[in-house]
Amino acid sequence: MDAFVNALPLVFEPSVLGAIGLGTIIGLIFGAIPGLTYTMALSLVLPLTFGAATMPAVALMVGTYIGGMTGGSVSAILIGVPGTPSAAATVLDGYPMRNAGKASLALGLAVISSTVGGLISLFIMVVSVDLVSRLAIKFGPAEIFALVVFGMSTICGLAEKSLMRGLIAGVIGLILMTVGLDEITGDQRLTFGTVTFQQGVNLVVAMIGLFAVPHIIQTFSIYRAGLQKLADPQDARIELPSLALMRRSLGLMMRSSLIGTVIGAIPGASGPIAAFIAYDHARRFSKDRSRFGKGVEEGVIAPETANNAVSGGTFIPLLSLGIPGDPATAVILSGLLIHGLFPGPMLFREHPIEIYGVYLTIVLAYIIILVVQLFGIRVFVKILLVPPHLLSVAVMVMCVIGSYAIRNSVFDVYTLAACGLMGYLLLRARIPVTPVVLGLVLGPTLETQYRTAIIMSEGNFDIFYTSLTALLFFALALLVIVLQLWGNMRAKAQAVRATEQEA
Amino acid sequence: MSENLRNRISGTVLLAVALVWIVLVYQTIAPSPGTEAGPRAFPLFFGYVLAVLSLLLLFQSFRTPALDLENETHDSATVLPGGLTAVAMTIGSFVVYGMLLEPFGFIPSTAFVVAAILLFVLRVRSVLVIAGMSIGLSLGCYLVFGKLLGTYLPPGNIITIYF
């Protein structure tokens, strides 16, 4: 308690508050613009902290991280392109909501859900840091592989109308991620001896290509055909969700927060997985599943709550064990080390004031983000008033900036074009692109963890079915697939019956 | 185009892609004797899975009766309007942008590509819109991303050499 009291004045110093504010704005901007990741923002602000004291430095990084996590939803809703991989699931219902003239409500829901998710996860993190970290650290490669298999099973739910085409899309994503240097042996795979191919397909570049380029082509085509409709200016207002909606969604928010926190605590399994699992959970337990994908509020609430709840989860292994859960927390870890905070069990004993300072900084970051988004969202919503074809030209430039800036490589711009063409062709073939992204996100972890498990067990497959945790995740994956197949068969049978009755 | 015909074309193209992929994997990634977790295992496995799924899609398209359920739940979001011209021009613009970026630098190449898209793809004829968008976007993005946020934007090899 003393540490908490001592941390309070430290956090409310103007330099710390200013650092949180600056960090959140930078994070929001990087998070909102497709291709500019908050990991990149963190890498850029890290050198700025070298000359600063510990708390302002930590505050700047935490603000950027949380701002970036929250900002991804803005572009996901307004232009149908997720600003961050974690916001990919938000597109599924956020963009249809925007198309239905409910952009302001979708943005309001995203802001509130993000804040609630982040704060609930922080609470869970503070009260259960020991328990969850003890569980998560016991996860070996077999358990993480099983978790990823469970994550992949959500493809069934994202496959739209045809499970077959959804699976094809997932496999295309998995195939793409095998190009480049093998993570375990360093062998070249499908590089054709070229250096540029050794980099492989960058996840963010592929994601921008798959989501943004078909969108640009569509907007240009609609404009050329003279079918473009300008956005209704009435869309350009802030709409906070009603109390009734919030009350109705409280249970979903709590469950999504739990999903996000637990998944965030498992290294390697971060925001996108949590968001997709939470989305699938919301859809599965909805009274009317058919509304999902067409602009339902729960389709924004669940992924946004979960992907922000991941922030609390990722801090558990980061602070207690020094294990970063994702690339962004790896940058934060290096920042903590630079400022003399060595994560691990001793950190809580040696720097209790700073630890409470980090907790308070997270709370303040969410409050500042809420305020900045509530008022700054007016600026973002103004994008709706720009004619879509001109906005698409700006999106095109930003896509190129984002793709190029990741590795300062023109190769990534060409990859963007190739992925964009692929995304367009897939959509024309009625193959959904979201499972491709899921394959891209989970592919490397799936392969690396499977192979590590096999190497560790010297080729013995027992490792996968002797772990209760792994079995639990496999069983959950099987359950999801069976339920989906059963649901599909029932829907088809109903449709056939309805057609026969009409005839 | 009917759903079955679409599935037949998709299935055939994807099967061809899968087969080419499998051949390439066999030809370019060396096997790892004594281990089931070598670098070739996953690319090969995914290739076979894609081939099997493509075949299933093909078979499904021949087995599905004339009653086409999916046409009844037609999803306009997945059917993009517009012909090949818009696709070719958009993808071509990205490629040209990439080609110009490093030799000419961010500002000139952005201004050129934006103006070209407005003129040829969107057929905008307002000089004010073309000039405003091309100069505004290139300079605005340069100031915000390059200067304010410190993102690296190529200065241009030709410009760096001669000026």
Are B59 and B125 in the same domain? no
Q: Tell me which residue range forms the domain holding B162.
A: 84-163
| Burial status of residue A315 (CB atoms within 10 A of its CB: 0-12, 13-18, 19 or more) | buried
| Burial status of residue A344 (CB atoms within 10 A of its CB: 0-12, 13-18, 19 or more) | middle
Q: Chain B residue with minimal CA distance to A174?
A: B46
Q: Do A185 and B80 touch (CB under 8 A)?
A: no
Are B101 and B136 in the same domain? yes
CB-closest option in B37, B47, B56 to A450 = B37
Are B151 and B124 in the same domain? yes
Report the C-alpha gap between A376 and B24 in whole angstroms: 51
CB-closest option in A398, A400, A492 to B97 = A400
Q: Do A224 and B122 touch (CB under 8 A)?
A: yes
Q: Do A401 and B153 touch (CB under 8 A)?
A: yes
For residue A267, the model assigns a pLDDT of 59
pLDDT of A231 above 60: no
A147-156, A299-308, A350-359: range with highest mean pLDDT: A299-308
A49: which residues sit within 8 A by CB, 6+ positions away?
A56, A57, A60, A61, A335, A338, A339
Q: Do B149 and A44 touch (CB under 8 A)?
A: yes
Are B163 and B121 in the same domain? yes
pLDDT of A150 above 50: yes
Residues A190, A454 contacting (CB under 8 angstroms):
no
For tokens 């077959």, the residue is A164
Does the pTM of the predicted model rise above 0.95? no
Report the C-alpha gap between A240 and A233 in whole angstroms: 17
In a domain? residue B52: yes
Report the C-alpha gap between B70 and A89 in whole angstroms: 24
Are B46 and B121 in the same domain? no
Are B54 and B4 in the same domain? yes
- A29 contacts on B by Cβ (under 8 Å): 149
CB-closest option in B36, B86, B138 to A220 = B86
| Per-residue CA distances from A244 to A201, A279, A283, A287, B28 (Å) | 45, 21, 20, 17, 60
For tokens 């970290």, the residue is A133
Are B88 and B60 in the same domain? no
3-state SS, residue A189:
strand
Domain boundary among B9, B32, B67: B67
Q: What angle do CA B129, B131, B135 make, to 5 degrees?
A: 120
Report the C-alpha gap between A207 and A214 in whole angstroms: 11
Structure tokens at A410: 């023109």
Give percent above pLDDT 90 in chain A.
8
For residue B65, the model assigns a pLDDT of 63
Report the C-alpha gap between A41 and A31 in whole angstroms: 9
**Which segments of chain B have a pLDDT < 50?**
67-80
Q: Do A393 and B9 touch (CB under 8 A)?
A: no
pLDDT tens per residue across span B92-117? 999 999 999 989 999 999 999 999 99
Q: Do A178 and B10 touch (CB under 8 A)?
A: no
For residue B72, the model assigns a pLDDT of 40
In a domain? residue B78: no
If one counts the domains in chain B, the total is: 2
Q: Do A161 and B98 touch (CB under 8 A)?
A: no
Residues A171, B43 contacting (CB under 8 angstroms):
no
In a domain? residue B135: yes
Mutate to test the interface with B, among A45, A155, A178 (most CBs of B within 10 A): A178
Domain boundary among B67, B102, B120: B67
In a domain? residue B24: yes
For residue A463, the surrounding DSSP H or E stretch is: helix A462-465
Domain boundary among B13, B32, B67: B67
In a domain? residue B2: yes
Helical segments of A225-326, H only: 243-265, 271-284, 298-321
Residues A141, B37 contacting (CB under 8 angstroms):
no
- A160 contacts on B by Cβ (under 8 Å): 75, 78
User: DSSP labels for B37-102?
Assistant: SSTTHHHHHHHHHHHHHHHHHHHHHHHS-S--HHHHT--GGGS--S-HHHHHHHHHHHHHHHHHHH
For residue B70, the model assigns a pLDDT of 47
More confident residue, A407 or B111: B111
Reported ipTM = 0.88
If one counts every other C-beta atom within 10 angstroms of the C-beta of residue A171, the result is: 27
For residue A15, the model assigns a pLDDT of 87
Are B112 and B156 in the same domain? yes
Report which of A30, A23, A37, A29 is spatially closest to residue A272, judged by C-alpha positions: A37
3-state SS, residue A416:
helix
Mutate to test the interface with A, among B78, B101, B109 (most CBs of A within 10 A): B78
- B56 contacts on A by Cβ (under 8 Å): 164
- A224 contacts on B by Cβ (under 8 Å): 82, 85-86, 121-123
pLDDT of A234 above 50: no
For residue B77, the model assigns a pLDDT of 40
| Cβ–Cβ pairs < 8 A, chains A and B | 208
Q: What is the mean pLDDT of chain A?
A: 81
Are B58 and B99 in the same domain? no
pLDDT tens per residue across span A105-115? 888 888 889 88
Shortest distance between the Cα of B159 and any Cα of chain A, in A, equals 17
For residue B160, the model assigns a pLDDT of 64
Give the model's confidence band at A389: pLDDT under 50 very low, under 70 low, under 90 confident, else very high. confident
A83: which residues sit within 8 A by CB, 6+ positions away?
A30, A31, A32, A33, A34, A36, A71, A72, A73, A74, A75, A76
Q: Do B86 and A182 touch (CB under 8 A)?
A: no
CB-closest option in A191, A397, A408 to B137 = A397
For residue A152, the surrounding DSSP H or E stretch is: helix A141-152
Angle between helix axes A38-45 and A54-78 (nearest 10 degrees) is 150
In a domain? residue B8: yes
Q: Which stretch of A284-288, A453-457, A475-479 has the lowest confidence by average pLDDT?
A: A284-288
Residues A92, A432 contacting (CB under 8 angstroms):
no
In a domain? residue B72: no
In a domain? residue B73: no
For residue B78, the model assigns a pLDDT of 43
Q: Chain B residue with minimal CA distance to A445?
A: B42
Q: Do A216 and B37 touch (CB under 8 A)?
A: no
Q: Do A221 and B80 touch (CB under 8 A)?
A: yes
Q: Chain B residue with minimal CA distance to A177?
A: B43
Q: Do A430 and B87 touch (CB under 8 A)?
A: no
Instruction: Give A92's Cβ-side CA count (13 Å radius).
Output: 36
Report which of A411, A379, A446 is spatially closest to residue B98, judged by C-alpha positions: A411
Q: Chain A residue with minimal CA distance to B80?
A: A218
Are B59 and B88 in the same domain? no
pLDDT tens per residue across span A189-227? 888 878 878 878 877 788 778 877 888 888 888 888 776
A124-138, A419-433, B147-161: range with highest mean pLDDT: A419-433
Report which of A488, A494, A480, A499 is spatially closest to residue A153, judged by C-alpha positions: A480
Residues B101, A411 contacting (CB under 8 angstroms):
no
| Amino acid at site A400 | V
Are B63 and B90 in the same domain? no
CB-closest option in A389, A413, A455 to B101 = A413
Q: Is the dihedral of CA A438, A439, A442, A446 positive or negative?
A: positive
A206-235 burial, b at 16+ Cβ within 10 Å, e below that, comes to bbbbbbbbbbbbbbbbbbbeeeeeebeeeb
For residue B89, the model assigns a pLDDT of 92
Give the model's confidence band at A129: pLDDT under 50 very low, under 70 low, under 90 confident, else very high. low
Report which of A118, A35, A25 is spatially closest to residue A67, judged by C-alpha positions: A25
Are B52 and B104 in the same domain? no
